[in-house]
Amino acid sequence: MEGMERISIPTPFSVGRVNCYLFTKNGLTVLDPGPATEEAYEELERSLARFGYSSSDIDRVLITHPHMDHFGLAHRLVAESNAHVFAHEDAVEQLSDPIGYFEKEQEYFRPFLLSMGMPMDTVDTVLELPEPYTEYQDPVTVSHELAEGDTIDVGVELECLSTPGHAPGSLCYLAKTEGIMFAGDHVLPDITPNPLLTLAPGSEDERTRSLPTYLESLRKVLDTEVPFGYGGHGDPISTLQNRARETITHHQERKERIADLVADHEPTTAYQIMKEMFPDLPATEMFPGMSEVIGHLDLLEDENRVVISESDGVKRYELDTQQYE
Ligand SMILES: [Zn+2]
Ligand SMILES: [Zn+2]
């Protein structure tokens, strides 16, 4: 695509490099600058210099979703350039106060994870592990809050598609005339994005039902029929529609596997299911693991296939056999 460049930015995270996209035909626009590290900053500066720019020339910073590997560096770029910052309205709170938001989530998820059957010491470990990583992001003020259907002229018209699920406020940017979607982490070429549990936007005591929401957002990608994708990690996606369908199928298969595990162990907790499903999961992966399992239990609940009982503050799941009688 003319007037667009993809830059691969290093991150300190296990996901590896993150993709940053430059648009150069109507001023200078940076989509997802990367995390707040010196390495990321230097890589971006070197890449900008290759095209005759520096970070002080940036007019706009576009953010796909409020994860620090994507937006962490935005604050520094804005300080140098006075660039306008664009993100979905549901991402604004987390972007403007990432540490405060993280602490609010820790507070909510402590009792929540206990209610899902996770032992207390594991809960403490799981919730404290991400603390050292919070330094890779700086608060950034969003100057343009985006919603579904909004457009931005970056030399080509980008239209916003609201795709919550992997993160609240996840946005895909569609260059319809080019048949291209800048998909953030919503659709990725090699990995299945995790439907991470978070607080519901604007709430302190309600979580997102991330996986059902995520699958709805994947169906929106199918509705666009846009053929090509540029994701937040990895190579360009030459068959975006196939990749979205594959991801839906992957989740349908996993949901059936989790239904079988519930049947084998009922009544059982989400934590027990996670241990069955991923026996050797390191603590660093347990929050994503729980998000995945609870997401599938949410789907089964939405389909009236499980009943949930609660005793001693712990929720247990079993298959709803009544509907077969
Ligand atoms: Zn992400
Ligand atoms: Zn990412």
> Which residue ranges form the domains of the chain, and what is each CATH number?
4-97+133-247 (3.60.15.10), 255-324 (1.10.10.10)
Query: How much distance in Å is there from the Cα of 185 to the middle of ligand 1?
Result: 5
Cα separation, 284 vs 110, in Å, equals: 16
197 C-alpha vs ligand 1 centroid, how far in Å? 12
Please, what is the angle between helix 120-128 and helix 286-302, to 10°? 110
Rounded Cα gap, residues 41 and 28, in angstroms:
16
CA 81 / ligand 2 centre spacing (Å) = 24
C-beta separation of 272 from 265 below 8 A: yes
Tell which residue, 179, 155, 210, 134, has the closest CA to residue 31. 155
Ligand nearest to the CA of 186: 1
Q: In tens digits, what is the pLDDT along the chain, a chain of 325 residues?
A: 999 999 999 999 989 999 999 999 999 999 999 999 999 999 999 999 999 999 999 999 999 999 999 999 999 999 999 999 999 999 999 999 999 999 999 999 999 999 999 999 999 999 998 888 888 999 999 999 999 999 999 999 999 999 999 999 999 999 999 999 999 999 999 999 999 999 999 999 999 999 999 999 999 999 999 999 999 999 999 999 999 999 999 999 999 999 999 999 989 999 999 999 999 999 989 999 999 999 999 999 999 999 999 999 999 999 997 765 4
Burial annotation 139-158 (CB, 10 A radius, 16+ → b, else e): ebebeeebeeebebebbbeb
The rounded Å distance from CA 136 to ligand 1 centre is 14
69 CA to centre of ligand 1 in angstroms = 7
For ligand 1, the distance from its centroid to the CA atom of residue 81, given in whole angstroms, is 25
Distance 67 CA to ligand 1 centre (A): 5
Separation of 214 CA from ligand 2 center, angstroms? 15
The pairing of beta strand 228-231 with beta strand 180-184: parallel
Tell how far the Cα of 183 is from the centroid of ligand 2, in angstroms: 11
For residue 35, give the ligand nearest its CA.
2
169 CA distance to ligand 2 centroid (A)? 14
Q: Cα(233) to centroid of ligand 2, in Å?
A: 6
First to last CA, the chain: 57
Q: Which amino acid is at 270?
A: A
SS3 percent helix, strand, coil of the chain, rounded to 5, is 45, 20, 35
In the prediction, which pLDDT does 130 show? 84
CA distance 244 to 251: 11
Residue 64 CA to ligand 1 center (angstroms) comes to 9
Distances in Å between the alpha carbon of 266 and those of 124, 220, 273, 321?
A: 26, 35, 10, 12
**Cα(13) to centroid of ligand 1, in Å?**
11
